[in-house]
Structure 1
Amino acid sequence: MIQSPISIRANTATGLFLLLAAPLLPPSVVSAQTLQGTGLLITGDATVTGNATLLNSSVQNQLNSFELTVTGSSTFIGGMTALGQITVQASGGLDVRGPLSVAANATTTLDGPVQINGTLEATSSFAAAMKGGACIGSGCNSLGPLPDAPLLVKDTTPGIEFSGNGPDWDISINAGSIDSFAIREGSGSFPTAPFTIESGAPENSLWIAADGRIGLGTTLPQADFHVVSGDSPAIMLQQLGGFGNQGWELIGNEAGFFVRNSETAGLPFAVDPGAPGNALRIAGGGDIGLGTSAPSAPLHIIRSNGNARILLEDSSPGVQEMFAMRNHGGSYFTLDNTQSGTTWFFTHENSAPNRFIIADAVADGPEMSLTADGVLTVPGGFVVGSTALNVPDYVFEPEYDLKPLSEVSAFIAEQGHLPDVPSAAEVEDQGLDMARMQMALLKKVEELTLYTLAQEVELTRLRALEARLEALEAR
């Protein structure tokens, strides 16, 4: 058997071809367009420069390697079997309509437009190198222009399957009713598709940068997860089934950042774009800071613009509790003036009689205490002042109408109390206005003073008359 290069330039011929080449002879040349036969055995390198058609035949090499060069358009209907390494340089196009079988530990190199309308088989370990584009699938009916990509999968439902020791996977194109690209797990009629891209998805819908950051709508993600949209980018968290349907959206736009209830369209949480730093801070221990990054109480509010305050407001009608302090023991709240250094405590006493106490920071006892029985104790003075107080100095004006004692006596006899002074029944029903009572008592004192002065004048006159009578009786 001779193992030297052979060149085939075939005219029409039929029969069984056994092509051998002598080592010292030049390659044989056959000048024709069609080479037809039922078998072709190549033991050396071969070049096909014309159009060759092999019907129900195979091309085999029995050496470790050989090279098949096709410069025309050739069709091997019976397939090709390589017992060793094979290199195919098909500048004119090679159509293998049958299985391309490669023996154990063989390497196949395909250079040029090579079409395989069958299976690519390897009996054991197999390495293949393809120089040029390849088309796989039922849509690859004939050799045509090279595909734009090295590999073209052309079928009614193109895909690639991966099968091994674990679960089967496939890359599926337009497998269902929606035109899409999907990565699916499982086989059969109902594989699961954990990843799907629908046809028409906008550019940069998903971008994974070199540093692992993920961008949705951007090629330059600035955070681990970066969402870019022309109008109100959002992330939705939705539960379907289970304990009930519920969805929440995280939305950001020029109006602020919102947490939206997708079931009710309500916005239970919102942050305006102008919100200052540390507008809301939840510390590690659960303390909440408003205006501070280091809250020192369960709710700590700090302002430096003079508007630190709490407003409780309810627009619905009716009476309700608006502020409550509850403790398993005594309680108090503090008013602390950091400028003057003074402090006041409003205390619900812990021990009996559980008084309400107002005291300052000086340890000299409470400034005021009130018992549950209504006993008010004020160790210091008690001063009442009001712009509505009408101090009854008008009693001493000349035009004041001082009632005669006879009228006062008649009023007391009829009403059972002094004029302009509330009765016991009125105090019990309406309570006692201390300021008004003090002014009423002062008025009565001033009226009593006028009565006393009038009586003094009358007594002086009577004493003078008495003296004159005594003088006349002495004569």
Structure 2
Amino acid sequence: MKSNFKKALLLAMLCSGQAMAQQTINQVLTLNSNGVNSTEILMKKQDNASYYSLFSNDLSFGLYNSSTGKYLLYTDANDRVGIGTHTPLAKLHVNGVLRAMHSISGDNSAYFGNESSSGYGLFSTGGGGASNLYPFRFEKYTGAVVMMADGDGNVGIGIDNPLHILHLKKPQPTLNFEKTGILNWTVGNIAGNDFYIRVDNAPSSPFVMESNTGNVGIGTATPKEKLSVNGKIRAKEIKVEATNWPDYVFKPEYQLNTLPELEAYIKANGHLPEVPAAAEVEKEGVALGEMNKILLKKIEELTLHLIEKDKKLEETNRKLDKVMQMVETLTQKNK
């Protein structure tokens, strides 16, 4: 009986605005609707004009601020909670900036977690004043880092101590660039330990750099040289470094094959000495630097042969001139 009287007295004081600033209720206070209007408690502010309204009806429950005309808290019939909005579109809908503070003084860490055994957590940690101690992290429930951005602006994916502007760590890390509905370009470690750039409409013709050799392939996944290209190359100039340039051909001690010797070699082998055979070229290709040296050597040898033949031709012409002179002399005597 006394308990019901205390409740009624307190309710009357609250509704009349004469309650003390502080009251302690050690009982359950129940407010029943009349079936027509919502249940509401108005809490007047110091000016006795503006107020906070704590209300409940068959559609919602909330806290309303008459000064701003906004709902500080609103729960709809679907148990969706709105903060700063009375039309929540999700289980928690916040219209404004959301900030979480750590309980430790001076530590501005924030944490947004998921207690699910397969969920993810999103949080920012900090302390100590140094910029690199204020990272932003996105973690899996196991604590494994999904994404991390440190105070120096480095972003890590799969790594919690990124050393570069973008640092990826995974058994086979890749980046994919998609042109909607048309093509995908994939960059990264697609196979083995090698680096690839590949487009999906030509998967067998990638750009690849082998990790163990440093060889680079364009249009081939198995480069055999520092640069292997399966296709044509177009350039305005290619400079090839070479040693032992064949100027030695013109030195007096150089042994020049005679033309009969060359003829015998060609008949036996089907190509010039030192020049690779067609089958070898088809299988191994041609080394431009080495082939240029061989071709120049053959040109120089041919030049020596031409010089020698020219000398012999000159000698033959002189002898022929003498013979012609003798014939002319004999002809004149016989007239």
Give the TM-score category using the shorter length: 0.3 to 0.5
Structure of greater Rg: 1
Which has more strand, going by share of residues? 1
Give TM-score scaled by structure 1 length. 0.34
Which has more helix, going by share of residues? 2
